[in-house]
Amino acid sequence: MAEVISVGVNLEAFAQAISAIQALRSSVSRVFDCLKDGMRNKETLEGREKAFIAHFQDNLHSVNRDLNELERLSNLVGKPSENHPLHNSGLLSLDPVQDKTPLYSQLLQAYKWSNKQEEEMIKY
């Protein structure tokens, strides 16, 4: 069974989440490698297009699967309790630049777009 330390973090889930992050990074790299390589090494244009689309879709499904797995594991990790000081890292929340950066909203839009694309792929 997973060991839970006093700060409320599931260490086994944390280790699995780190592995899931590595898997996600690898699958994202494969997507960009696929885009970089394009439609090479096929005789006909139609064969190149079909192979590229199939390979690209497989890579996108892999990214979505890895992202969903990471999201599932993040819920299992738990949150550290508030009574432990964050030392200097607690000052990052006071940085006004972070408030001006729409990172969370962009990430949420990308996630919704990914799910929408997956649903449309299932229809076909």
Residue carrying the six token digits 């550290």 = 80
**Confidence band of 2 (pLDDT split at 50, 70, 90):** very low
Residues 93-102 pLDDT 10s: 666 665 666 7
Q: What is the pLDDT of residue 105?
A: 74
Q: What is the pLDDT of residue 81?
A: 56
pLDDT at residue 3 greater than cutoff 50: no
pLDDT at residue 58 greater than cutoff 90: yes
Return the higher-pLDDT residue of 14 and 43.
14
Mean pLDDT of 79-83: 58
What HEC string does the chain produce?
CCCECCCCCEHHHHHHHHHHHHHHHHHHHHHHHHHHHCCCCCCCHHHHHHHHHHHHHHHHHHHHHHHHHHHHHHHHHCCCCCCCCCHHHHHHHHCHHHHHCCHHHHHHHHHHHHHHHHHHHHHC
Q: What is the pLDDT of residue 89?
A: 59
Q: What is the pLDDT of residue 20?
A: 92
Return the higher-pLDDT residue of 8 and 21.
21
Threshold 0.75, pTM exceeds: no
Burial class (CB in 10 A: 0-12, 13-18, 19+), 62: middle
Rounded Cα gap, residues 52 and 31, in angstroms: 11
Length of the chain: 124
Count of alpha carbons within 13 Å of 93, Cβ hemisphere only? 4
Boundaries of every domain in the chain: 11-81
Return the higher-pLDDT residue of 99 and 71.
71
